[in-house]
């Protein structure tokens, strides 16, 4: 700004000034000038100045059937007019109907649900249940995993930037993760024979009492940068975990509800049945809701052993929104649709990888695609500055994207599941121009 020139007070500047004054400064905000949003419809969101954006991050993989889907809006409005809240002390039709629906679509014997308001809550609930059901205390998680922001959530998480305050819950150990692009064992798939899976056994045998309550993992590590395990990984690991008395907690907070294409849940790609599964984000198209689902037998592990309640956990409005969201997913065959447009997206990005050396890796499944950016393909040096440049370029051209990874150098591409072929074409076109500009400056 020219010195002495009075700054024009737009709606954006007004919001940003209040943000700075009244909200904690540690809020993470994307873009050099953060972007206040006002409304959304389908694949599009508008900022407060009226500029539209094609949303390829879907509110962090949450607006699963598109912004303000009319059926979700209607279901929530109808329920809001009837009863907003009563607490789970009284059974509610939406609560039991959603639990029944989830029992129908969840893999294996996962039949009984416990609803909470956030993914963090769901993971905490899963860990507590595993401990009470097995009588063991120790948990094995994976490096580069993310499980939320509570003390347990941060202790399960294995990224230093997300483990703030030095909080450490005892009894949580971390095994090597199946990160093929940066293999922790410096091996290559398939000749490696998925050697990283064996580390789970080493960790159990060397850092625990030899009996564990659970192993927790995401089918594709979300915050970690859409790290996708090789085939066979989960089969080997779950066998090891069960051999040492543990339950497998599958965290489907990002991968659930058709996100990975063809299947309802990410773990189904690897023919493994979890003992406990957590879900949130896409479950209710943006309404706060999470769930921990398990078998009737494991759930008994908490019965009669004391009291627990989640005041907002069975909220009838969130439940109505979730039932409507799943209904739309079923009617529109979204898991199948995601497989088709997801392939188009990943193929398109792999073509861009051939053109732009800054793209080190393209990976993922369905509409959960990561682009790992590097300054040098040989050394794989993370390209953090280039990521920021790409963010500004794509924003300018009206495309919203996300990022992640331990080094903050992975672009997360995860639009609502209703993205069409034309939406994917448009996003690829913008990526092409943006990557060209980023590459030129490197």
Where on the chain is the footprint of ligand PLP (CB under 6 A)? 118-120, 123, 146-148, 218, 222-223, 251, 253-254, 280
Nearest residue to ligand PLP by CB is: 119
- In the chain, what's the furthest Cα-to-Cα distance? 71
Asked if the peptide bond before residue 373 counts as cis, ω within 30 degrees of 0, the response is no
Cβ at position 12, least distance to ligand PLP in Å: 26
Alpha-helical (H) ranges within 247-291 are none
* Residues with Cβ within 8 Å of residue 243, at least 6 apart in sequence: none
Look at residue 21 and give its three-state secondary structure: helix
Residue with Cβ nearer ligand PLP (94 or 120): 120
Phi-psi region of 293 (alpha: psi -120 to 50; beta: other; left: phi over 0): beta
Residue 347, phi then psi, degrees to nearest 5 = -60, -45
Cβ at position 5, least distance to ligand PLP in Å: 41
CB 130 within 8 A of CB 200: no
Cβ at position 135, least distance to ligand PLP in Å: 25
Residue with Cβ nearer ligand PLP (149 or 350): 149
Residue with Cβ nearer ligand PLP (218 or 423): 218
Cβ at position 161, least distance to ligand PLP in Å: 14
How does DSSP classify residue 386?
A: H
Residue with Cβ nearer ligand PLP (172 or 434): 172
Cβ at position 153, least distance to ligand PLP in Å: 6
Residue with Cβ nearer ligand PLP (120 or 353): 120
Residue with Cβ nearer ligand PLP (145 or 261): 145
Cβ at position 60, least distance to ligand PLP in Å: 6
Phi-psi region of 186 (alpha: psi -120 to 50; beta: other; left: phi over 0): left
Cβ at position 146, least distance to ligand PLP in Å: 5
Cβ at position 87, least distance to ligand PLP in Å: 21
CA 392-157-193 angle, 5° bins:
95
Residue with Cβ nearer ligand PLP (152 or 203): 152
Beta strands in 151-258 (DSSP E): 172-175, 214-217, 247-251
Give me the half-sphere count of Cα atoms (radius 13 Å) on the Cβ side of residue 179. Answer: 21
Report how far residue 34's alpha carbon sits from residue 12's, in angstroms, rounded to the nearest whole number: 9
CA 83-86-91 angle, 5° bins:
100
Residue with Cβ nearer ligand PLP (177 or 254): 254
């Amino acid at each position: 700004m020219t010195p002495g020139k009075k700054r024009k007070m737009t709606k954006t500047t007004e919001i940003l000034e209040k943000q700075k004054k009244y909200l904690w400064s540690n809020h993470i905000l994307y873009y050099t000038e953060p972007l206040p949003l006002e409304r959304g419809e389908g694949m599009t969101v508008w900022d407060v100045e009226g500029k539209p954006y094609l949303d390829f991050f879907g509110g962090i993989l949450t607006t699963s059937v598109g912004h303000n889907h009319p059926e979700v809006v209607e279901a929530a409005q109808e329920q809001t007019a009837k009863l907003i809240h009563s607490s789970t002390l009284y059974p509610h039709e939406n609560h039991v109907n959603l639990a029944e629906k989830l029992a129908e679509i969840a893999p294996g014997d996962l039949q009984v649900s416990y609803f909470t308001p956030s993914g963090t809550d769901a993971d905490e609930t899963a860990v507590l249940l595993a401990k009470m059901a097995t009588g063991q205390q120790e948990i094995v998680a994976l490096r580069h995993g993310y499980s939320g922001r509570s003390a347990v959530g941060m202790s399960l998480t294995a990224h230093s930037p997300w483990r703030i305050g030095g909080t450490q819950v005892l009894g949580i150990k971390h095994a090597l993760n199946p990160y093929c692009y940066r293999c922790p064992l410096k091996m290559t798939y398939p000749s490696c024979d998925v050697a990283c899976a064996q580390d789970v056994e080493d960790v159990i045998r060397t850092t625990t009492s030899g009996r564990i309550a659970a192993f927790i993992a995401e089918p594709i590590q979300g915050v970690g940068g859409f790290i996708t395990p090789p085939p066979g990984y989960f089969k080997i690991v779950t066998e090891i975990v069960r051999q040492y008395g543990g339950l497998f907690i599958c965290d489907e907070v990002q991968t659930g509800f058709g996100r990975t294409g063809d299947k309802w849940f990410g773990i189904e790609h690897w023919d493994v049945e979890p003992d406990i599964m957590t879900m949130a984000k896409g479950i209710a198209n943006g309404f706060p809701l999470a769930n921990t689902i398990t078998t009737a037998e494991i759930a008994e592990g908490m019965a009669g052993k004391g009291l627990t309640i989640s005041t907002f956990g069975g909220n009838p409005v969130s439940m109505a929104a979730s039932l409507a969201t799943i209904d739309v997913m079923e009617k529109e065959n979204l898991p199948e649709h995601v497989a088709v447009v997801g392939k188009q997206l990943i193929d398109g990005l792999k073509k861009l990888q051939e053109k732009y050396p800054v793209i080190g890796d393209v990976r993922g499944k369905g509409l959960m695609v990561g682009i790992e950016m590097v300054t040098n393909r040989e050394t794989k040096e993370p390209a953090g500055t280039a990521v920021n440049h790409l963010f500004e370029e794509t924003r300018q051209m009206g495309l919203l994207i996300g990022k992640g990874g331990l080094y903050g150098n992975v672009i997360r591409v995860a639009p609502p599941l209703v993205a069409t072929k034309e939406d994917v074409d448009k996003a690829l076109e913008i990526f092409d121009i943006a990557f060209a500009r980023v590459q030129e400056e490197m």
